[in-house]
Amino acid sequence: MSNSTVLQKETSKVHEEVIEANRKYVSEFGKKGELALPPARSFTILTCMDARLDPAKYAGLSEGDAHVIRNAGGRASDDAIRSLIISHKLLGTKEFFVIHHSDCGMALFTDQIIRNLLEKSLKTATVDSSGWKNKEESGGSDEARFISFLTFESLEKSVVDDVKRIRNHPLIPKDIPVYGYFYDVKTGKLVEVEEATKIGRAS
């Protein structure tokens, strides 16, 4: 890769906007540097990386309030559980929220679909009425066969499954309540998945 290519990526419009936004944030930072390491409100949210979700807004968070763990789908993956364990054991959180959302992209494909796409190309794929397809097919890899992408068909069942996995994990104490919700992207409302919250009750 040439130096000019690297430079072009580093000075993109998005890159410049992010750095400028950070300059403004630093100028208004005030006493936030004095915030304690443990979250002040002692809880953790596991949610999706979807750009439409802003946990600070939908859950009323300020800096220092809570841990927010994000991944594709907000799934209780091994790495998410690793973070939950650290959140409680070393930083004192006492409640967990699992929050998935409506219109989630993780329901739009299967492990086999994305594996097939990646095997033929690493470029961004497109989707239409006939399904997912690569724009071009070159330079792929079959490494995706080793990855569980944690896709799902049912939104509410995905919440139940993840709360159940957290509740039953031997390194998660039984006295931590695990709440199950999904976020409605059309209204901003958090909708409780009652079966999940029942499973996640503290004991």
Burial class (CB within 10 angstroms; exposed 0-12, middle 13-18, buried 19+) of 45: buried
Structure tokens at 78: 């091994």
Please give the Cα distance from 2 to 148 (Å, whole number).
35
Do 180 and 196 contact (CB within 8 A), yes or no? yes
**Quick one: how far is CA 59 from the chain centroid?**
15
Per the CB < 8 A criterion, the answer to whether 65 and 124 are in contact is no
- The span from the CA of 9 to the CA of 14, in Å, is 10
Contact 133, 125 (CB under 8 A): yes
- Which two three-digit tokens encode residue 87? 């959140």
101 and 46 Cβ atoms separated by less than 8 Å: no
Is residue 48 annotated as involved in ligand binding?
yes
Binding residues: 48, 50, 101, 104
Binding residues for Zn(2+): 48, 50, 101, 104
